[in-house]
Amino acid sequence: MDLIPSFSVDHTDIVPGIFTSRIDTVGTKTITTYDVRLTRPNREPAVDVAAMHSLEHIIATFLRNDPDWKEDIIYWGPMGCLTGFYLILKGNRSPKEIYNLVLSAFRAVDGAQSVPGTSPENCGNYLMHNLGMAKWYASRFADYLSANADNPRIFEYPKAERLMTEDGQHFYDS
């Protein structure tokens, strides 16, 4: 079985940032998945689960209501490792081209008075939210993005080097 491309990213070297995870073509349409990484995997603690859940709700609502972007938003949701989110958009823009959208979304969390969609009818785990911690993570990430806007590392995935045998087999644990 082939290793999926996101597992070829060097998770020991990745920094928080905005990265192109994959580009897919469906018919004549292009869809791009972005990795919006809030913490350094395996070096910093994962994002608090309740805060991650609140960030998912607040930012998804922000993105789907942004007048300039709402028609291009397909998905916003957390990574299983709780170190970031996936953003899926119609089209193919570079991470730098969506920088202001992502920065605005995280800055908007600070103004949230509540977490949208948190009634039992609207959410599968409506009690698992933490607005205060969501604001802390959002502010921390937005400040980091602002301070590193000119740093190419926040836009380019570090690739893991993989040893290959003479017959073309890869060693994925190397």
Strands of 29-37's sheet, edge to edge? 17-26, 29-37, 84-90, 73-78
DSSP state at residue 158: P
In the predicted model, what is the mean pLDDT of residues 5-15? 81
* Structure token digits, residue 143: 């400040």
Q: Which residues have a Cβ under 8 Å from the Cβ of 15 and sit 6 or more positions away?
A: 37, 40, 153, 154
Could you tell me if 154 and 15 are in contact, meaning their C-beta atoms sit under 8 angstroms apart? yes
Residue 8's Cβ-count burial label (10 Å; 0-12, 13-18, 19+) is: middle
Task: Residue 30: name the closest of 71, 101, 96, 89 by CA.
Answer: 89
**What residues form DSSP beta bridges with 86?**
35, 77
In the predicted model, what is the mean pLDDT of residues 9-26? 92
pLDDT above 80 for 172: no
Q: Please report how many Cα atoms fall inside a 13 Å half-sphere around the Cα of residue 80, on the Cβ side.
A: 2
Per-residue pLDDT of 60-104, as tens digits, reads 999 999 999 999 999 999 999 999 999 999 999 999 999 999 999
User: Is the pLDDT higher at 40 or at 171?
Assistant: 40
Band (pLDDT 50/70/90 cuts) for residue 162 is low
pLDDT at 62: 98
Q: What is the rounded CA–CA span in Å between residue 126 and residue 48?
A: 16
Instruction: Tell me the angle at which helices 95-109 and 131-147 cross, rounded to the nearest 10 degrees.
Output: 140
pLDDT above 60 for 174: no
CA R_g for the chain: 17
- Mean per-residue pLDDT over the chain, rounded: 92
pLDDT at 170: 55
Per-residue pLDDT of 103-142, as tens digits, reads 999 999 999 999 999 999 999 999 999 999 999 999 999 9
